[in-house]
Amino acid sequence: MSFFHAGPAPKGSGLRRGALRDGLDLAPGMKVGLFGGSFNPAHDGHAHVAATAMQRLGLDRVVWLVSPQNPLKSAHETAPLAERMASARAAAATVGPAMIISDFETRAGTRWTVDTLRAIVARHPGVQFVWLMGSDNLADFHRWRGWTDIMRLMPVAVIARPGSLLDSRTAPAAVRFARYRVPMAQAGLLPSLEAPAWTYLSAPLNHRSSTAIRAARAGRGEESNQVG
């Protein structure tokens, strides 16, 4: 499998403001977390990440960016977008009304996270964005296309997830941007800081995972076929 390592991602012309109805309803001055993923399916572990970020960073909104297809994941294992959007809405509803479920990548036609974030920033000047991700993603963040550009585009908050605590803290991205790390006690300042700036948020761990849920569903399907 090939990966995309450090280095600038090509800059496109982006989307003209007003050329797309993105449904995000954001206003200048808002502090907004952008939480991307396949959400295949979404679950209370995702809700835990969103709720932790909202509380600790003082966010006004968290936008769940449901990817049409993660370039680093298998398409045949990914459920239809509508199904994943529905699961994200159900999980986000447990957090509260400040959650926004968005298919922005599908509407904008972007494939890579860096291009999605550039398009959102261009369309919403004056909004203080923070990129949110679980610590399991930080461990592999250096494999993302344009990952250094993401770090320099907006502040980043990493929320602790089970099984990746040590790996994430020694991850290439954490090491490379070590001097820009904001102490957890000052995490509330993160949305107003100029990138690069990032913080690591420890929290009570939620052990739910999309992989385990899919495996359990597959197991039930096999049992059903055997009975039938």
Domains along the chain with CATH numbers? 32-215 (3.40.50.620)
For 19, 69, 123, 150, 151, the CA distances from 119, given in Å and listed in that order, are 11, 18, 6, 12, 15
Lowest-confidence pick of 108-122, 136-150, 180-194, 209-223 = 209-223
Between CA 94 and CA 100, with CA 96 as vertex, the angle to 5 degrees is: 105
Cis preceding-peptide flag for 8 (omega within 30 of 0): no
Encoding tokens for residue 39? 């959400």
pLDDT top residue among 10 and 120 = 120
pLDDT value of residue 163 = 60
pLDDT of 213 strictly over 70: no
pLDDT band at 74 (very low <50, low <70, confident <90, very high): low
pTM above 0.75, yes or no: yes
pLDDT value of residue 228 = 41
Question: Alpha-carbon distance 163 to 179, whole Å?
Answer: 25
Question: Alpha-carbon distance 66 to 85, whole Å?
Answer: 7
Type of residue at 28: P
pLDDT value of residue 205 = 53
Mean pLDDT of the chain: 81
- The CB density around residue 164, as the number of other CB atoms within 10 Å, is 18
Question: Alpha-carbon distance 138 to 150, whole Å?
Answer: 12
Q: How far apart are the first and last CA of the chain?
A: 38
Encoding tokens for residue 19? 């050329």
pLDDT value of residue 32 = 98
